[in-house]
Structure 1
Amino acid sequence: MPRAHRPTAQRREEILDAAHALFTTKGFQPTTMEDILRVVGIAKGTLYYHFPSKEEILNALVLRIVGQVEQRAREIAASSSPAVDKLMAIMATMRVKETETELVEQFHAPGNAEFHLLSITAMIEHLTPVLTDVVAQGVREGFFTTSRPYDAIELLLSASGILLDHDILDTGPDKLSRRRNSLIWATETLLGARPGSLSILMEADS
């Protein structure tokens, strides 16, 4: 039986929650729009009004996860902590929670390359402004010296999104360790930090 009328935003979240559960248990490709309809219990027209396709639903789930990470990052950035502590905390929060791990695996599944790319580019777009403010704070504190914090962060997030992704590049233990060390070096260089001062970020990323 169709459910009672709900506000548009609430109905949209119900659809996303149902799709999240199905995609992580059944898989994205095997799940059908009819499967989602049965779980949510709404009319077909209502589902297609919110999301014209299954791909649109996964797209929205990608952006929802990134939005949640951005919210947590903004809360950290608004705290009274030193910039380097904020940087470490935001890096930690960028790692998806265990409850999201199985869904993220669907972004990496064969045939889902566009969602994988979206997860990387959306994280760059949403986190760059937040981290730029943190770096600007670090410049005021004398920890960083860069005059181009936005450009530096955008480059660093782009590089890490590619270099540390095992679906894009071979990330065997030796290569992964070397790339992490290279990213620490690049971060110190681009942000104008003292060499070795950000080695602690290696621990935060392990």
Structure 2
Amino acid sequence: MTPARISKPAAQRRDDILDAAQRLFTTKGVQATSVEDILQDVGIAKGTLYYHFRSKDEILQGIITRTTERVAVKARQVADRPDPVITRFLGVLAAMRVDAPELALAETLHGPGNAEFHVLSIVEMVRAITPILAEVVEQGVAEGSFSTEHPQDMVEILLTSMGMLLDDGIFRGEADQIPRRTAALISAAETLLGCRPGALATAAHDMRIAGATGGAR
């Protein structure tokens, strides 16, 4: 006897589909996972899945969008703290790091055949975080910590550069270059944002030390 299907609110069913697909994409690979695999994992009919998503590609896009939205929520929380503007600027950048299982999926997107979605994940992140970080920069300009006349433009340049240069899926086999590139990006940020030379580098160093000793969260 076939078990009765459980009726759930549309938003919850959508999340169930995304959760199942994310697990399968991570364990089996995006290309090796079929729509039928997702149906079986969730325990729903094909019509229910197609009510929410028209294809496997659209499901993957949905996962990327959901991950980006979650990161944006964390970034907004950091941006709204009563901390010094440079601390908040660096904190928003730190909030862009994803944890498991999102990190596992990001590694999967580095694989063959997933380049389109890999790039999409970077673009979505730039789009989501730019207005949040630009607002922090604008506040920094108002208080004199930054002096750029184009906060949004400078932030877009920085986030796009970070998304590319710090992604070892793009620069394969160059993980040892990440510290150098990170330092270069911080230096570039100081120039583009017009802040005191060394201000971001010093704050970033202090935040790393505090984090290592449990002094900052």
Q: TM-score, normalised by structure 1?
A: 0.92
Of 31, 34, 39, 2:33 maps to: 31
In 1: Cα distance, 2:194 partner to 2:74 partner: 26
In structure 2, the residue matched to 1:17 is 19
In structure 1, the residue matched to 2:64 is 62
In structure 1, the residue matched to 2:215 is none
Deviation digits for residues 138-162 of structure 1 (CA, Å, limit 9, x no counterpart): 1122211111111100111111111
Q: CA deviation at 1:60?
A: 0.6
In 2: Cα distance, 1:201 partner to 1:111 partner: 39
Deviation digits for residues 107-129 of structure 1 (CA, Å, limit 9, x no counterpart): 11110001100011001100000
Structure 1 residues 30, 191: closer, same or farther in 2, change over 3 A? Answer: same
In structure 2, the residue matched to 1:125 is 127
**Contact conserved, 1:2 with 1:43, CA < 8 A, in 2?**
no
Structure 1 residues 170, 109: closer, same or farther in 2, change over 3 A? Answer: closer
In 1: Cα distance, 2:19 partner to 2:176 partner: 38
Matched, 1:75 2:77: yes
Q: CA deviation at 1:99?
A: 2.7
User: What is the CA RMSD across the aligned residues, in angstroms?
Assistant: 2.0
Of 31, 42, 50, 2:44 maps to: 42
Unmatched tracts of structure 2, length 5 or more: 209-217
**Contact conserved, 1:181 with 1:202, CA < 8 A, in 2?**
no
Deviation digits for residues 58-101 of structure 1 (CA, Å, limit 9, x no counterpart): 11101111110001111111221111111122121111113321
Q: CA deviation at 1:3?
A: 2.2
In 2: Cα distance, 1:80 partner to 1:51 partner: 40
Would you identify which runs of 4 or more consecutive aligned residues in structure 1 move more than 6 Å? Answer: none
Matched, 1:51 2:53: yes
Q: For 2:107, what is the secondary structure of its paired residue?
A: helix
**Contact conserved, 2:110 with 2:170, CA < 8 A, in 1?**
no
Matched, 1:153 2:174: no
In structure 1, the residue matched to 2:212 is none
Letter aligned with residue 84 of structure 2: P
Letter aligned with residue 101 of structure 2: T
Q: TM-score, normalised by structure 2?
A: 0.87
In structure 2, the residue matched to 1:163 is 165
**Contact conserved, 1:135 with 1:144, CA < 8 A, in 2?**
yes
In 1: Cα distance, 2:79 partner to 2:171 partner: 31
Q: CA deviation at 1:10?
A: 1.4
